[in-house]
């Protein structure tokens, strides 16, 4: 939901959309959704394989559906889903790709609800990472993270105003054909629609 919303929100500024396939349970579902929206908007989309993360990194997100905890989207319950330094690795690659194409910004759709769980979603990480990228490139590539201080419900409201079909987005960490409705990301998704006052078009297993 978050990345697709940013894609539509900044569509006039985006030259390239990148999906990273790092072997998560839901990679193929997310990739299909990203492809659909990029084709609809006429934005070039590429998939970058990061299979080394699946081989060498420890996270329940990389260990199959049964390893994903069910319950609330909070630090204690969701900590096992952290993929170590995931955003740092992806932003660094995005930085190199941007400079290679003569671009000067990398956008990321992290939001306030991620902060307690994922260290590389916090402003305290994004700000110095952007500075490092700017200092380490001739083009002065920077990170733009416009949703850092807003909630997923706020993002849902933005996307609804933009007319996004959220049934063509995927959140479930278990990676099934339908959203499980029970894992932390499914519960967070449901809550975002509820708080935004928007009908949830998601098809859940439960």
> pLDDT tens, 185-203?
899 999 999 999 999 999 9
Separation between Cα atoms, residue 30 and residue 20, nearest integer Å: 10
DSSP per position, the chain: -HHHHHHHHTTTT-S-EEEEE---TTHHHHHHHHHHHHHHHT--EEEEE-HHHHHH---GGGS-GGGSPBS-SSHHHHGGG--TTHHHHHHHHHHHHHHHTT--EEE----GGGTTT-GGGSHHHHHHHHHHHHHT-TT--EEE-TTTTS-HHHHHHHHHHTT--GGG----TT--SSB-S-BHHHHHHHHHHHHHT------B--
**pLDDT tens digits, 7-21:** 999 999 999 999 999
What's the predicted TM-score (pTM) here?
Answer: 0.91
Residue 114 pLDDT greater than 70, yes or no: no
**pLDDT tens digits, 87-105:** 999 999 999 999 999 999 9
Position 196 scores a pLDDT of: 98
**Do the domain assignments include residue 77?**
yes
**Do the domain assignments include residue 205?**
no
**Do the domain assignments include residue 202?**
no
**pLDDT tens digits, 125-147:** 999 999 999 999 999 999 999 99
User: Which domain, by its residues, includes 157?
Assistant: 2-196
- The pLDDT of 56-66, averaged and rounded, is 81
Annotated binding site: 172, 180, 183, 186
Domain count, the chain: 1
Position 50 scores a pLDDT of: 96
Residue 70 pLDDT greater than 60, yes or no: yes
**Do the domain assignments include residue 119?**
yes
Annotated binding site for Zn(2+): 172, 180, 183, 186
User: What is the token pair recorded at 2?
Assistant: 């978050």
**pLDDT tens digits, 19-43:** 999 988 888 999 999 999 999 999 9
Of the candidates 109, 106, 84, 108, which has an alpha carbon nearest to the alpha carbon of residue 95? Answer: 106
Position 25 scores a pLDDT of: 82
Using only C-alpha atoms, what is the Rg of the chain? 16
Residue 77 pLDDT greater than 60, yes or no: no
**Do the domain assignments include residue 70?**
yes
CATH of the domain at 9: 3.40.50.620
**Do the domain assignments include residue 56?**
yes
Position 59 scores a pLDDT of: 85
């Amino acid at each position: 939901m978050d990345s697709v919303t940013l894609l539509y929100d900044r569509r006039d500024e985006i030259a390239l959309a990148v999906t990273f396939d790092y072997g998560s349970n839901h990679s193929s579902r997310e990739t299909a959704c990203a492809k659909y929206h990029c084709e609809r908007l006429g934005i070039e989309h590429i998939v970058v394989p990061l299979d080394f993360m699946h081989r060498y990194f420890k996270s329940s997100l990389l260990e199959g559906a049964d390893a994903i905890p069910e319950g609330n989207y909070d630090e204690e319950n969701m900590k096992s889903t952290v993929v170590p330094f995931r955003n740092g690795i992806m932003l660094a690659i995005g930085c190199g790709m941007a400079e290679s194409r003569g671009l000067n910004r990398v956008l990321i759709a992290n939001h306030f609800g991620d902060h307690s769980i994922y260290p590389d979603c916090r402003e305290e990480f994004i700000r110095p990472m952007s500075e490092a990228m700017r200092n380490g490139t001739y083009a002065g590539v920077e990170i733009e993270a416009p949703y850092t201080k807003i909630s997923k419900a706020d993002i849902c409201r933005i996307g609804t105003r933009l007319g996004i079909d959220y049934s063509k987005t995927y959140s479930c960490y278990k990676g099934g054909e339908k959203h499980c409705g029970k894992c932390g990301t499914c519960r967070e998704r449901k809550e975002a629609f509820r708080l935004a006052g928007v009908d949830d078009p998601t098809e859940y297993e439960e």
